[in-house]
Amino acid sequence: MNKQDKRQRIIDAAYQVIAEKGYEKSSIKDIAHVAGVAPGLVHYYFTSKEEILSVLLMEASRQYTRHMENIHATVDSEQLPEAVLSEPKNRVEKQPDWYKLRYEFFAMGLRNSSIKPAVNELLENGRQGISYILQNVLENQEHDIESMSAVLLACFDGLALQKLLNPDFDLESAYHVLEQMIRSLEKNRE
């Protein structure tokens, strides 16, 4: 296994451990155990647990941006609202740890000034990805795309949180209403 593979293995393990235990209760030893490496090797690649968290934040941000760009590039403009909404909805059920880690980042950003810029960048990238798609869906309309993107991102995060806390929460219906709201804006352009 080369250096990059080992480093990625540690990052993947940190993702799993921090999503499961939270940042405060996670240790380098826990991360090393899940990665199947010695704790010293974790310290070789990362100076601290905080550095690992920062890498996780940046990776999550880049991944989200790439995914939104891919949706825009591969989906017909008439299907964009549905495609954009299905991504966060499906992620809640298929990758709940992604959201758990995201909420951990949010909480840390509120408490730790050194993490705050990375959390802000994560949120900004999310808003930009949504804005990029909204500009195409709502082209030639007088809408505050930036504010709409912020509201949609808050909806995605808030609906996911409700579903994670209450498995009986009707996520499907909530997303259906959200799609109707977007489609009503889209109809106004015609």
Domain ranges for the chain: 1-46, 53-187
CA distance 126 to 120: 10
CB 175 within 8 A of CB 89: yes
- What length is written for the chain? 190
The string of pLDDT tens digits covering residues 51-74 is: 898 888 788 778 877 887 888 788
CA distance 190 to 188: 6
pLDDT (0 to 100) of residue 140: 64
pLDDT at position 33 over 90: yes
Topology at the third CATH level for domain 1-46: Arc Repressor Mutant, subunit A (1.10.10)
pLDDT at position 166 over 90: yes
* 155: exposed, middle or buried (Cβ count in 10 Å: 0-12, 13-18, 19+): middle
Rounded to two decimals, the pTM is: 0.83
The contacts found for 167-176 with CB under 8 angstroms, 24 or more apart, are 171/89, 171/92, 171/93, 172/89, 175/85, 175/86, 175/89
Half-sphere CA count of 159, side-chain side, radius 13 A: 24
Span 53-187: which CATH code?
1.10.357.10
pLDDT (0 to 100) of residue 83: 82
Which H helix or E strand runs over 88?
helix 80-94
pLDDT at position 187 over 70: no
pLDDT (0 to 100) of residue 66: 82
